[in-house]
Amino acid sequence: MTTLGINLHDTEVRERIEALQWKLTQDLLTIGQTVLIEWGTWGRSERDALRVGARTLGAFVELHFLDVPIDTLFERIQQRNRESPPIQRADLLLWVETFQRPSSEEMALFDAPTAI
């Protein structure tokens, strides 16, 4: 999005991009390809929709969740230095409050990670 000059916080544009990515994902899954979705699936309902949609196409679905401390997240964001406008620590603290961590029950709905 930054390369295209799009504000990362433009919710409307982000939703349109994610919808296009999901459509392309479905096309790829239909022909047996592996797809990694890396946009923020912050809520259980979002993860459920993607899981069910991919399973409908016959795909295995894994969920990889890294529970990283806020200090580490903020340090990585600063080192990356790619967001425009830059992400502030206060923003990150607010976002962490809205994120729904996957429970063990939710994780059980996904396929076990494959060995690489």
Is residue 22 within 8 A of residue 50, CB to CB? The reply is yes
Q: pLDDT for 58-97, tens place per residue?
A: 999 999 998 999 999 999 999 998 877 788 999 999 999 9
Asked whether residue 116 carries a pLDDT value surpassing 70, the answer given is no
Helices and strands, number each (H, E), in the chain: 5, 0
- pTM of the entire structure? 0.84
Gap between the Cα atoms of 71 and 89, Å rounded: 9
pLDDT at 7: 81
DSSP string over 11-58:
HHHHHHHHHHHHHHHHHHHHTT------S---SHHHHHHHHHHHHHTT
What does the domain layout of the chain look like in residue ranges?
A: 11-107
Is residue 92 within 8 A of residue 30, CB to CB? The reply is no
Indicate the pLDDT class of residue 115, thresholds 50, 70 and 90: confident
